[in-house]
Amino acid sequence: MKKHYQKASVLSKTAAMLLAVMLSMSLILPAAGMDAYAVTDSETDTSGKTEQSEPYISDADQIDADSLDSLPSESNSSEAPHPATSISGYKTYYNKCRDEALEIEVDITPAVRRDVQLQRYNSSGKTWDTILTVTLDATEHYAYDAAGMTDEEQNTSSPEEAAETQAEQDADTAAKSADNNTAHMTISVPGEERMKTSSLWRIYVPATDTETEAVSENITILTRNLDDINLSARAACVYRINPDGSGNMLFSKNSYTRVAQASTTKLMTAVLLLESGLIDSSTKISPHAASTPWGSGRLAAGDVYSNKDLLYAMLLPSSNDAATAIAERVGGSEAAFVKMMNAKAKEMGLTRTQFRNPHGLDADGHYTTALELAKLTAYAYRFSDIRDCWATQRKTITSLERKRSWTLWSTNAIFSYVKNFLGGKTGTESNAGCCFTGVYTFGGCTYVTVVLGSGYGFSRWSDTKKLHKYIQDYAATGY
């Protein structure tokens, strides 16, 4: 029994020692980052079979449940869609002399690493031909000559070398934010591409792997002033009326300069009468209207005329009293009507035109430009009643109550000198000089010529004949 007791004691001591060792190892091995119980892929048991290990996750790898939403997932790890490419800041119409530099300013977004093509429409092949290509590299101000190179690249001899130069620029420029990723470009249009012609252009930015393509609106480039014309007029222009109602200026002399317009003012008065719907009614002449300076002398206070007859009186002998009478009839007062005139001018985009009266007598702040008068003339040409007046050289009108009659004579002397003349409006004043705006047809197109501030005598007609000859000489070029 004693021997048995001793053996049990030894076993107990041995077990206690083993237990202590195991406890020590359980504390040491995890601290070392080891798994004491897992078998790795390369370890085998005594039977030679491989056991698959389970993944070990340390305390440092534990993920808080609240933080799961902040981790990227397959649905939100991809980049946000790139913004669409935009082309902005450019004009859709240019009108330049053939020897004048023509530059198109444009903003491209996104800009970095983009090819920008200036294309010209080929009407015979119905294709867009690329005239030059510019490769953008950084969000900076670009100025390009006809070869499509930046100011700093003028010594580059080939597109390949230009591309290498761009590739060597600071890589940080490619990482600029989208807010700053806009290039402002100034592209010079080659002069030989616009000789004696009206050409259609556009700006095209091809798509890349990450950005969409973009195409600008069509840009019309018109070459004008193909010849110098010796005119007495202070300002003049030739303007073509397009079938869609728009127009192109083909010749210009100070056409943006504000000058007095004299009785060409009455075109706006006529337009407002026709748009008022009162053309088929009548008007009683007021004492104020009858006393308008430089009136015809035939409209007496108390006379009643049809508004159509007053329209003829305004546009044929340029009756100032008839213009005042119409203004009072349509606007309620002359002052109210003048406000209507200026509102209409603003509506039509005539930003450099201002009226102070309905007839055109000299007044401070009463002015227009040759180009804007041409646009007003083209607008007035839409009305058949105005076209009928323009085509008339003589007409007799009669007051409705007193039956007073008088004959109206057109002041347009150009009828005898220019073929295909459709009519127009004269104007003469001390400050304005001699003025005329007229409409003609030639080669299937309709044109307006304007002269403002010509000399006295036959000067405005001589100027007009020169402009008409200009149309004949260059209309065949297609511009």
Mind telling me the catalytic residues?
263, 266, 318
Within 8 A by CB and 6+ apart from 232, the residues are 454, 455, 459, 460, 462, 463
Within 8 A by CB and 6+ apart from 167, the residues are 137
Within 8 A by CB and 6+ apart from 204, the residues are 116, 117, 119, 128, 130, 213, 214, 215, 216
- Nearest-Å Rg of the Cα atoms of the chain is 42
Quick one: 188 exposed, middle or buried, by C-beta within 10 A (0-12, 13-18, 19+)?
middle
> Per the structure block, which two tokens stand in for 192?
């030989």
3-state secondary structure of 412: coil
443 Rama class: left (phi>0) / alpha (psi -120 to 50) / beta:
left
Taking residue 7's Cβ as centre, other Cβ atoms within 10 Å add up to 10
> Per the structure block, which two tokens stand in for 352?
């450099």
Please give the single-letter amino acid code of residue 243.
P
The whole-angstrom separation of Cα 110 and Cα 209 is: 13
List, in sequence order, every residue forming a beta bridge with 203; answer none if it has no partner: 118
The whole-angstrom separation of Cα 23 and Cα 38 is: 18
CA angle 452–455–461, rounded 5-degree value: 75
The whole-angstrom separation of Cα 161 and Cα 172 is: 21
Within 8 A by CB and 6+ apart from 421, the residues are 412, 414, 415, 438, 439, 440
Quick one: 144 exposed, middle or buried, by C-beta within 10 A (0-12, 13-18, 19+)?
buried
Tell me the C-alpha to C-alpha distance, in Å, between residue 477 and each of 102, 222, 225, 439, 474.
20, 11, 13, 20, 5
| Number of Cα atoms under 13 Å in the Cβ half of residue 238 | 30
Instruction: Report helix angle 320-331 to 334-347, nearest 10.
Output: 80
